[in-house]
Amino acid sequence: MPQKLKQANRALRKAWQWLREVTGDAAYDNYLRHCTANENRAHSSAFKKLTRAEFYSDALRRKYSTINRCC
């Protein structure tokens, strides 16, 4: 039974993560991970890591500057 509970828990976590990814809720976390993975660039003087609010505004600007919804 605990094994099954663990499996159910894992499946729920996966579904939740999927939902966060699809909706864009996890976009900033992914961006932070990208920054951490590219530490060298992140430390260069020209690079400025965006805050959550800045990242959100920037994402909206990029998303709604191009065709992103269909008929």
Partner 1 sequence: MNKLLKTILWTAISLAGAAALSAIAFERNEPLNAVWFVVAAVATYVVAYRFYSSFIAAKVLALDDSRATPAERLEDGKDFVPTNKWVLIGHHFAAIAGPGPLVGPTLAAQFGYLPGTLWLILGAVLGGCVQDFTTLFFSMRRNGKSLGQMAREEVGKRGGMLALLAVLAIMVILLAAVALIVVKALKDSPWGTFTLAMTIPIAVLVGIYLRFLRPGRILEASLIGVALVIVAVVAGQWVNASLSWSQAFTLSGPALAIAIIVYGFAASALPVWLLLAPRDYLSAFIKVGAIVALAGGILFVRPTLQMPALTRFIDGSGPVFAGKIFPFCFITIACGAVSGFHALISSGTTPKMILHESHARVIGYGAMLMESFVGVMAMIAACVLSPGVYFAINAPAGIVGKTPETAAAVIHSWGFPLDPHAIITLAHRVGERTLLDRTGGAPSLAVGMAQIFSGTIGGDRLLGIWYHFAIMFEALFILTVLDAGTRVGRFMVQELGGHIWKPLGQRGWIPGILISSALICGAWGYFLWQGVQDPLGGINSVWPLFGIANQLLAAVALVVGTTILLKMGKLKWIWVTLAPMAMLVAVTMTASYQKIFDASPRLGFLAQANLLASQIAAGAIPPDRIAATQRLIFNNRLDAAVTAVLALMVCALLFEALTVWAAILFAGKQAALNEAPYVPTRWAEGD
Q: Rule CB under 8 A: which residues touch partner 1?
A: 18-25, 27-28, 30-31, 34-35, 38, 52-53, 55-71
- Cβ atoms of 71 and 65 closer than 8 Å: no
For residues 16 and 34, give the distance between their C-alpha atoms in angstroms, rounded to a whole number.
Answer: 21
Q: State the minimum distance, in angstroms, from the CB of residue 7 to partner 1.
A: 19
The Cα–Cα gap between 54 and 31 comes to 12
Nearer to partner 1, 1 or 32 (CB): 32
Token code pair at residue 1: 């039974």
Shortest distance in whole angstroms from residue 31 CB to partner 1: 4
Q: Is 11 or 19 the residue whose CB approaches partner 1 more closely? A: 19
